[in-house]
Amino acid sequence: MINWIYQDDDLEFDEVLRFEKSLSERYLPLARRIGFDFRLLRAGEITVSCLDGPVMRYRGEDLLATRQCYIAEDISMAPQGLQHMRAIYRTIEASDSVLLNRSISGPDYLERDKLALLQYAAGLGVPTIGTLAVPAGKYARQVIPEVQREFGSGPYIIKPRELGMGVGVLKVESDQQLTSAIDIVSTTGTGYIVQPFLPHRADMRVFIVDGRVVTSLSRKPRPGGYLASISQGGSLEVNDDHLQVEEMCHRIGRNLDAQFLCVDWLMTDSGPVLNEWSTASAGFTLLPEPQLTVLSDAFFGWIKRTIEDGA
């Protein structure tokens, strides 16, 4: 069984139903081809504990009584939801079940903290987008002169450090908009970063499985938009642009000992620039054929080997 645990409190009721229906329809047939079943679990219905060992109870069942696979990122837009997701993540990691999004070596924050992973990649000699963290509360405005000195007069992108799918990402054009946006994000309780807005023809996601580049997809914002995420209305195409970054992807993968990794690049006129990476929850089910079959066989094949090797 592959269990995807998500924080349903981050979504409206109708969004929850659409998310569960869409994900189940896309993942279940692919998982079953390799011999797995697939289900979605709402984090709010899960309780975790230590009773002579890790216990994770869902509707009366201790999920950890049998060895299964989980995708359970410890992220949420709500502070209390974030703490609950962290408890779930760490409980699974303490068990003999497989936490699929723990697919790299090193500290777990390198799975999701955009600032930390860019700092890590820069240390490997990979070209990265400039990034400044917004200080907390009343100190937040201190980042504004830093932004103007390092990135010029704009435009800028402001985004959460540890969320995905384009949630909470804002493009600002002027110093006044920057100041207002910083004032707003300083009250959210969520860590934010500021980056320059780099004109680019595509946001390319490269898929690495067992240290090998398998394929990629290139996402583009809808006309007049700035978010390339498919969940935010972007479109996708498949090409061979990943050949331009293959060596750097392998460098990242080797250093992280990455079993499954999605590496996102901004394809600018001056060359590819690393934007971020993500682990097993990153979507690929919208890929066209034959890339979808190639990647899904590699992805679920990796899961099968992982669960069997530890049996």
Assign residue 291 the CATH number of its domain: 3.30.470.20
Question: Is residue 217 classed as helix, strand or coil in its secondary structure?
Answer: strand
121 and 254 in a single domain? The answer is yes
One domain for residues 17 and 123: no
- Other Cβ atoms closer than 10 A to 215: 19
Structural domain that includes position 168: 132-196
What pLDDT band is residue 91 in, cutting at 50, 70 and 90? very high
Of the residues 170, 196, 222, which one is the last residue of a structural domain?
196
Domain match, 158 and 117 both = no
What pLDDT was estimated at residue 307?
86
DSSP SS3 for 247: helix
Residues 169 and 44 in one domain: no
Which residue from 129, 186, 128, 189 is spatially nearest to 157, judged by alpha carbons?
Answer: 129
Asked if 222 and 91 sit in the same domain, the reply is no
Contact between 286 and 249 under an 8 Å Cβ cutoff? The reply is no
CATH number, position 57: 3.40.50
Same domain for 204 and 295: yes
* Residues 284 and 254 placed together within one structural domain of the fold: yes
289 and 233 in a common domain: yes
Q: Are 28 and 297 in contact, with CB atoms under 8 Å apart? A: no
The answer to whether 113 and 161 have CB atoms below 8 angstroms apart is: yes
Tell me, yes or no, whether 296 and 150 share the same domain: no
Residues 222 and 95 in one domain: no
Alpha-carbon distance of 130 to 198, in angstroms, equals 10
Same domain membership, residue 267 and residue 118? yes
Of 58, 81, 99, the residue at which a domain comes to its end is 99
> How does pLDDT run across 96-111, given as a tens digit for each residue?
999 998 989 888 899 8
Mean pLDDT over 122-140 rounds to: 95
Judgement on whether residues 235 and 246 belong to the same structural domain of the protein: yes
Q: What pLDDT was estimated at residue 15?
A: 82
Domain count, the chain: 3
Whether the CB-CB separation of 279 and 102 falls below 8 Å is answered with: yes
pLDDT per residue over 202-233, tens digit each?
Answer: 899 999 998 889 999 988 877 766 665 655 55
Share of the chain above pLDDT 70, in %: 94
In degrees rounded to 5, what are phi and psi of residue 126?
A: -90, 135
- Which ranges constitute the DSSP H helices of the chain? 13-33, 79-94, 114-123, 143-151, 175-185, 246-256, 291-309
Higher model confidence: residue 139 or residue 163?
139
Q: Output the CA angle 38-57-16, nearest 5 degrees.
A: 50
Alpha helices in 69-174 (DSSP H): 79-94, 114-123, 143-151
